[in-house]
Structure 1
Amino acid sequence: MGFTVSEHSAGHMRRILRWFLVRWGLDKVADGAELALTELVANVVRHVPDRGCSVLIQRRPGGLRVEVTDNCPAAPRLTPGGDPLDEGGRGLRLVQAVTDRWGVLPRSAGKTVWFECDG
Protein backbone atom coordinates (compact mmCIF):
# COMPACT_ATOMS: atom_id res chain seq x y z
CA MET A 1 0.00 0.00 0.00
CA GLY A 2 1.44 3.40 -0.93
CA PHE A 3 1.43 6.44 1.33
CA THR A 4 2.46 10.05 1.23
CA VAL A 5 3.99 10.60 4.63
CA SER A 6 4.35 13.64 6.85
CA GLU A 7 5.91 14.45 10.19
CA HIS A 8 2.89 12.85 11.90
CA SER A 9 2.84 9.61 9.90
CA ALA A 10 5.33 7.71 12.05
CA GLY A 11 2.91 7.60 14.98
CA HIS A 12 0.20 6.05 12.82
CA MET A 13 2.65 3.52 11.37
CA ARG A 14 3.85 2.55 14.87
CA ARG A 15 0.28 1.84 16.00
CA ILE A 16 -0.38 -0.32 12.93
CA LEU A 17 2.87 -2.21 13.44
CA ARG A 18 2.15 -2.81 17.15
CA TRP A 19 -1.34 -4.09 16.29
CA PHE A 20 0.18 -6.76 14.04
CA LEU A 21 2.97 -7.65 16.47
CA VAL A 22 0.57 -8.17 19.38
CA ARG A 23 -1.64 -10.43 17.29
CA TRP A 24 1.37 -12.39 16.04
CA GLY A 25 2.77 -12.86 19.55
CA LEU A 26 5.85 -10.79 18.75
CA ASP A 27 5.34 -8.21 21.52
CA LYS A 28 8.95 -8.53 22.67
CA VAL A 29 10.28 -6.99 19.45
CA ALA A 30 7.68 -4.20 19.33
CA ASP A 31 9.72 -1.39 20.92
CA GLY A 32 12.74 -1.88 18.65
CA ALA A 33 10.66 -2.47 15.54
CA GLU A 34 8.57 0.64 16.18
CA LEU A 35 11.70 2.77 16.64
CA ALA A 36 13.26 1.39 13.46
CA LEU A 37 10.08 2.01 11.44
CA THR A 38 9.88 5.55 12.83
CA GLU A 39 13.41 6.25 11.63
CA LEU A 40 12.78 4.87 8.14
CA VAL A 41 9.58 6.91 7.76
CA ALA A 42 11.42 10.01 9.04
CA ASN A 43 14.07 9.45 6.36
CA VAL A 44 11.35 9.46 3.69
CA VAL A 45 9.94 12.71 5.09
CA ARG A 46 13.40 14.32 5.12
CA HIS A 47 14.94 13.00 1.93
CA VAL A 48 12.30 11.90 -0.60
CA PRO A 49 11.00 14.88 -2.61
CA ASP A 50 7.40 13.68 -2.96
CA ARG A 51 7.38 11.91 0.45
CA GLY A 52 5.82 8.87 -1.21
CA CYS A 53 6.54 5.39 0.08
CA SER A 54 5.06 1.97 0.61
CA VAL A 55 5.40 -0.07 3.78
CA LEU A 56 5.39 -3.86 3.97
CA ILE A 57 5.00 -5.53 7.37
CA GLN A 58 5.63 -9.25 7.08
CA ARG A 59 5.66 -12.05 9.63
CA ARG A 60 8.52 -14.41 8.92
CA PRO A 61 9.51 -17.71 10.46
CA GLY A 62 11.11 -16.66 13.70
CA GLY A 63 10.27 -12.97 13.53
CA LEU A 64 9.39 -9.91 11.52
CA ARG A 65 10.50 -8.10 8.36
CA VAL A 66 9.55 -4.52 7.55
CA GLU A 67 10.27 -2.83 4.22
CA VAL A 68 9.93 0.84 3.31
CA THR A 69 10.13 1.47 -0.45
CA ASP A 70 10.37 4.91 -2.07
CA ASN A 71 11.18 6.31 -5.50
CA CYS A 72 14.36 8.19 -4.51
CA PRO A 73 17.49 6.43 -5.81
CA ALA A 74 19.82 7.92 -3.18
CA ALA A 75 20.73 5.18 -0.71
CA PRO A 76 20.81 6.06 2.97
CA ARG A 77 24.27 5.98 4.52
CA LEU A 78 25.41 4.92 7.92
CA THR A 79 27.83 7.73 8.76
CA PRO A 80 30.99 6.42 10.41
CA GLY A 81 32.11 8.19 13.58
CA GLY A 82 30.89 11.73 13.89
CA ASP A 83 28.99 13.47 16.63
CA PRO A 84 26.27 11.21 18.10
CA LEU A 85 24.07 14.30 18.54
CA ASP A 86 24.36 15.21 14.86
CA GLU A 87 21.06 14.76 12.98
CA GLY A 88 22.68 13.19 9.91
CA GLY A 89 23.17 9.43 10.05
CA ARG A 90 21.93 8.96 13.60
CA GLY A 91 18.67 7.30 12.54
CA LEU A 92 20.42 4.45 10.78
CA ARG A 93 22.61 3.91 13.85
CA LEU A 94 19.40 3.46 15.84
CA VAL A 95 18.01 1.05 13.25
CA GLN A 96 21.22 -0.95 13.43
CA ALA A 97 21.12 -0.97 17.24
CA VAL A 98 17.50 -2.12 17.67
CA THR A 99 17.16 -4.67 14.86
CA ASP A 100 18.87 -7.94 14.08
CA ARG A 101 19.52 -7.11 10.43
CA TRP A 102 18.88 -4.25 8.04
CA GLY A 103 19.86 -3.26 4.54
CA VAL A 104 19.07 -1.44 1.32
CA LEU A 105 17.87 -2.98 -1.95
CA PRO A 106 18.23 -0.78 -5.03
CA ARG A 107 15.17 -0.75 -7.30
CA SER A 108 14.81 0.41 -10.89
CA ALA A 109 12.97 3.49 -9.61
CA GLY A 110 14.21 4.01 -6.06
CA LYS A 111 15.09 1.70 -3.20
CA THR A 112 13.78 -0.47 -0.39
CA VAL A 113 15.20 -0.09 3.09
CA TRP A 114 14.39 -3.12 5.24
CA PHE A 115 14.95 -4.52 8.70
CA GLU A 116 14.33 -7.77 10.48
CA CYS A 117 13.74 -8.52 14.14
CA ASP A 118 14.01 -12.07 15.47
CA GLY A 119 11.15 -13.02 17.73
Structure 2
Amino acid sequence: MTSLSNPVQAAPVGHPAYSQTFPCEPETAEAGRRLVRDALAVWHLDDLADRAALIISELIANAARHTPCPTILMVGRPSARRVRIGVVDRAPSRLPVLGPADADDESGRGLLLIDALADLWGYDLHGSGRRVWGKEVWAEILVESGQ
Protein backbone atom coordinates (compact mmCIF):
# COMPACT_ATOMS: atom_id res chain seq x y z
CA MET A 1 0.00 0.00 0.00
CA THR A 2 1.33 3.44 -0.85
CA SER A 3 1.00 6.68 1.07
CA LEU A 4 -0.37 8.62 -1.90
CA SER A 5 -3.26 10.73 -0.66
CA ASN A 6 -5.34 10.06 -3.77
CA PRO A 7 -6.13 6.66 -5.22
CA VAL A 8 -4.34 5.72 -8.41
CA GLN A 9 -6.28 6.96 -11.41
CA ALA A 10 -5.31 7.18 -15.03
CA ALA A 11 -5.47 10.63 -16.54
CA PRO A 12 -8.41 11.08 -18.94
CA VAL A 13 -5.91 11.30 -21.79
CA GLY A 14 -2.43 9.83 -21.87
CA HIS A 15 -0.59 8.21 -19.01
CA PRO A 16 -1.09 8.53 -15.24
CA ALA A 17 0.48 11.35 -13.28
CA TYR A 18 0.60 12.64 -9.72
CA SER A 19 1.02 16.19 -8.51
CA GLN A 20 0.97 18.01 -5.20
CA THR A 21 1.49 21.64 -4.21
CA PHE A 22 4.00 22.47 -1.48
CA PRO A 23 5.66 25.58 -0.07
CA CYS A 24 8.86 26.56 -1.83
CA GLU A 25 11.27 25.59 0.93
CA PRO A 26 13.98 22.98 1.44
CA GLU A 27 11.79 20.90 3.78
CA THR A 28 9.59 20.06 0.80
CA ALA A 29 12.29 17.68 -0.45
CA GLU A 30 11.21 14.92 1.95
CA ALA A 31 7.61 15.08 0.71
CA GLY A 32 8.87 15.16 -2.87
CA ARG A 33 10.97 12.06 -2.38
CA ARG A 34 7.97 10.28 -0.85
CA LEU A 35 5.71 11.29 -3.75
CA VAL A 36 8.24 10.06 -6.31
CA ARG A 37 8.89 6.77 -4.50
CA ASP A 38 5.16 6.12 -4.05
CA ALA A 39 4.34 6.81 -7.71
CA LEU A 40 7.18 4.59 -8.89
CA ALA A 41 6.03 1.81 -6.56
CA VAL A 42 2.51 1.98 -8.01
CA TRP A 43 4.03 1.61 -11.49
CA HIS A 44 6.33 -1.23 -10.31
CA LEU A 45 9.42 0.86 -11.09
CA ASP A 46 11.05 0.72 -7.66
CA ASP A 47 14.48 0.26 -9.23
CA LEU A 48 14.33 3.90 -10.42
CA ALA A 49 13.42 5.26 -6.97
CA ASP A 50 16.88 6.24 -5.69
CA ARG A 51 17.83 8.11 -8.84
CA ALA A 52 14.40 9.77 -9.06
CA ALA A 53 14.46 10.78 -5.38
CA LEU A 54 17.83 12.46 -5.80
CA ILE A 55 16.60 14.30 -8.91
CA ILE A 56 13.46 15.62 -7.19
CA SER A 57 15.55 16.69 -4.18
CA GLU A 58 17.80 18.77 -6.45
CA LEU A 59 14.87 20.25 -8.39
CA ILE A 60 13.22 21.30 -5.12
CA ALA A 61 16.47 22.72 -3.75
CA ASN A 62 16.86 24.86 -6.87
CA ALA A 63 13.25 26.06 -6.70
CA ALA A 64 13.57 26.86 -2.99
CA ARG A 65 16.77 28.80 -3.58
CA HIS A 66 15.74 30.71 -6.69
CA THR A 67 11.94 31.24 -6.46
CA PRO A 68 9.77 32.73 -3.71
CA CYS A 69 6.52 30.94 -4.46
CA PRO A 70 4.62 27.69 -3.84
CA THR A 71 5.92 24.76 -5.86
CA ILE A 72 3.97 22.03 -7.62
CA LEU A 73 5.71 18.67 -7.75
CA MET A 74 4.87 16.47 -10.71
CA VAL A 75 5.57 12.79 -11.39
CA GLY A 76 4.22 11.34 -14.59
CA ARG A 77 4.64 8.86 -17.38
CA PRO A 78 4.41 10.75 -20.66
CA SER A 79 4.91 7.36 -22.32
CA ALA A 80 5.39 3.77 -21.24
CA ARG A 81 9.15 4.21 -21.68
CA ARG A 82 9.63 7.47 -19.73
CA VAL A 83 9.11 8.80 -16.21
CA ARG A 84 9.07 12.59 -15.90
CA ILE A 85 9.77 14.35 -12.61
CA GLY A 86 9.15 18.07 -12.50
CA VAL A 87 8.82 21.14 -10.34
CA VAL A 88 6.48 23.95 -11.42
CA ASP A 89 6.96 27.46 -10.03
CA ARG A 90 5.74 30.97 -10.80
CA ALA A 91 9.13 32.45 -11.66
CA PRO A 92 9.36 32.14 -15.46
CA SER A 93 12.16 34.70 -15.70
CA ARG A 94 14.47 32.53 -13.55
CA LEU A 95 15.47 29.90 -16.10
CA PRO A 96 17.80 27.02 -15.20
CA VAL A 97 21.34 27.34 -16.52
CA LEU A 98 23.83 24.49 -16.49
CA GLY A 99 27.13 26.00 -15.49
CA PRO A 100 30.43 24.96 -13.99
CA ALA A 101 31.07 24.99 -10.27
CA ASP A 102 34.50 25.65 -8.85
CA ALA A 103 36.00 23.08 -6.51
CA ASP A 104 35.61 25.38 -3.50
CA ASP A 105 32.01 26.47 -4.28
CA GLU A 106 29.52 25.43 -1.59
CA SER A 107 26.61 25.25 -4.04
CA GLY A 108 25.89 25.33 -7.75
CA ARG A 109 26.08 21.64 -8.59
CA GLY A 110 22.37 20.76 -8.60
CA LEU A 111 21.85 20.93 -12.35
CA LEU A 112 25.16 19.16 -12.94
CA LEU A 113 23.91 16.31 -10.77
CA ILE A 114 20.52 16.27 -12.53
CA ASP A 115 22.32 16.26 -15.89
CA ALA A 116 24.36 13.22 -14.78
CA LEU A 117 21.39 11.28 -13.34
CA ALA A 118 18.65 12.00 -15.89
CA ASP A 119 18.43 10.72 -19.42
CA LEU A 120 17.01 14.10 -20.46
CA TRP A 121 16.16 17.34 -18.67
CA GLY A 122 14.88 20.78 -19.56
CA TYR A 123 12.16 23.30 -18.85
CA ASP A 124 8.81 24.35 -20.30
CA LEU A 125 7.19 27.75 -19.89
CA HIS A 126 3.52 27.81 -18.86
CA GLY A 127 1.09 30.34 -20.27
CA SER A 128 1.16 31.97 -23.66
CA GLY A 129 2.44 35.12 -25.31
CA ARG A 130 2.79 37.89 -22.76
CA ARG A 131 0.93 35.91 -20.13
CA VAL A 132 3.62 33.44 -19.20
CA TRP A 133 2.91 32.70 -15.54
CA GLY A 134 5.46 30.01 -14.67
CA LYS A 135 7.77 27.24 -15.71
CA GLU A 136 8.31 23.55 -15.13
CA VAL A 137 11.85 22.30 -14.74
CA TRP A 138 11.80 18.58 -15.43
CA ALA A 139 13.98 15.51 -15.77
CA GLU A 140 13.19 12.23 -17.47
CA ILE A 141 14.38 8.73 -16.73
CA LEU A 142 14.02 6.02 -19.35
CA VAL A 143 12.29 2.82 -18.30
CA GLU A 144 14.04 -0.43 -19.20
CA SER A 145 12.20 -2.70 -21.65
CA GLY A 146 9.95 -5.20 -19.94
CA GLN A 147 9.07 -3.01 -16.96
Larger CA Rg, structure 1 vs 2: 2
Task: Indicate whether 1:31 and 2:50 are aligned.
Answer: yes
Match of 1:45 in 2: 64
Deviation at 1:88, TM superposition (A): 4.1
Richer in helix (by share): 1
Letter in 1 for 2:75: I
User: C-alpha displacement at 1:86, in angstroms?
Assistant: 2.1
Q: Across the two proteins, how many residue pairs are aligned to each other?
A: 117
Q: 1:75 aligns with which of 90, 95, 109?
A: 95
* Runs of 4 or more above 4 Å deviation: none
Percent of residue pairs bearing the same amino acid type: 38
Cα RMSD (Å): 1.6
- The alpha carbon displacement at 1:95 in A equals 0.4
Unaligned runs of 5+ in 2: 1-19, 127-131
Cα offset, 1:85, TM superposition: 5.0
Larger relative contact order (Cα-Cα within 8 Å, sequence gap ≥ 6): 1
5 Å-filtered alignment, 1:39-118, equals 39-50=58-69, 52-59=70-77, 60-72=79-91, 73-80=93-100, 82-107=101-126, 108-118=132-142
Q: How far apart in 1 are the matches of 2:105 and 2:83? A: 29
Q: Distance in 1 between matches of 2:94 and 2:120?
A: 20
State the TM-score, normalizing by the size of structure 2.
Answer: 0.72
Contact residue 10 and residue 42 of structure 1 kept, 8 A: yes
Gaps of 5+ in 1: none
Q: Work out whether residues 77 and 89 of structure 1, in 8 Å CA contact, stay in contact via their aligned partners in 2.
A: no
Q: Which amino acid aligns with 1:7?
A: P
Contact 1:48-1:70 within 8 A present in 2 as well: yes
TM-score after normalising by structure 1:
0.88
